[in-house]
């Protein structure tokens, strides 16, 4: 099994432009919540517990994150739980609200992602390795921790493998 550093380094290699990373702070949460919204129907009551495809996916994701590292895994599990909670709240609305909110967030999130990858000049990581779909949310949380000055040894390990985040030239508006 790949380690936390393996997964984050492989994903980070596709994300060295700060504009691309910034786009992920918006796009990935929108996509995660959208998936939770869209997969929160149907729901089944099993032994007094409400299950849905969203709950099952969140549990599988939590297991993946917890196997990589306990601290980040617990935080990711909490975030997945919040996404499912919001997803279930929107799925409980009228069908039009459920679909419009889920599909709207999904499309908007991917548009933002592809704009970021335009600046990166590189395709999204999941195109070469589908595990990028589950590593993406973890990458966003790790990058947020790095911005807050946390987990600097992890950041250094990732940058040793993937390289540092590029600095933008004055103006920073050019395509990579």
pLDDT of 41 reads 94
pLDDT of 176 reads 46
Question: Is residue 132 a part of any domain in this protein?
Answer: yes
Question: Is residue 25 a part of any domain in this protein?
Answer: no
pLDDT of 108 reads 98
Candidates 128, 118, 137; CA nearest to 30 is 137
Distance CA 148, CA 135 (A): 20
3-state secondary structure of 168: coil
How many folded domains does the chain comprise? 1
Question: Is residue 2 a part of any domain in this protein?
Answer: yes
Question: Is residue 174 a part of any domain in this protein?
Answer: no
* Strand 44-46 with 49-51, pairing: antiparallel
Paired tokens of 127: 């195109």
Question: Is residue 53 a part of any domain in this protein?
Answer: no
Would you give per-residue pLDDT tens digits along the chain (176 residues)?
Answer: 899 999 999 999 988 999 999 999 999 999 999 999 999 999 898 898 889 999 999 999 999 999 999 999 999 999 999 999 999 999 999 999 999 999 999 999 999 999 998 998 888 888 887 888 999 999 999 999 999 999 999 999 999 999 999 887 665 555 54
pLDDT of 173 reads 54
Structural domain range at position 84: 1-8+70-162
Could you tell me which residues come within 8 angstroms of residue 146 by beta carbon, excluding any fewer than 6 positions away?
152, 154, 155
Question: Is residue 99 a part of any domain in this protein?
Answer: yes
Question: Is residue 45 a part of any domain in this protein?
Answer: no
Question: Is residue 38 a part of any domain in this protein?
Answer: no
Q: Angle formed by the axes of helices 70-91 and 53-68, to 10°?
A: 170
């Amino acid at each position: 099994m790949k380690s936390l550093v393996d997964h984050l380094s492989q994903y980070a290699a596709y994300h060295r432009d700060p504009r691309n990373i910034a786009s992920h702070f918006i796009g990935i949460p929108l996509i995660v919540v959208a998936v939770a919204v869209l997969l929160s129907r149907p729901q089944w009551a099993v032994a007094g517990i409400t299950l849905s495809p969203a709950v099952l996916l969140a549990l599988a994701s939590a297991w993946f994150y917890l196997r990589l590292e306990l601290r980040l895994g617990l935080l990711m599990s909490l975030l997945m739980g919040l996404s499912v909670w919001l997803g279930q709240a929107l799925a409980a609305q009228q069908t039009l609200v459920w679909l419009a909110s889920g599909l709207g967030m999904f499309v908007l999130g991917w548009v933002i992602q592809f704009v970021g990858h335009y600046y990166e000049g590189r395709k999204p990581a999941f195109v070469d390795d589908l595990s990028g779909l589950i590593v993406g949310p973890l990458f966003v949380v790790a990058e947020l921790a790095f911005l807050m000055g946390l987990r600097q040894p992890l950041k250094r390990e990732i940058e040793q493998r993937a390289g540092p985040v590029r600095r933008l030239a004055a103006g920073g508006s050019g395509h990579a």
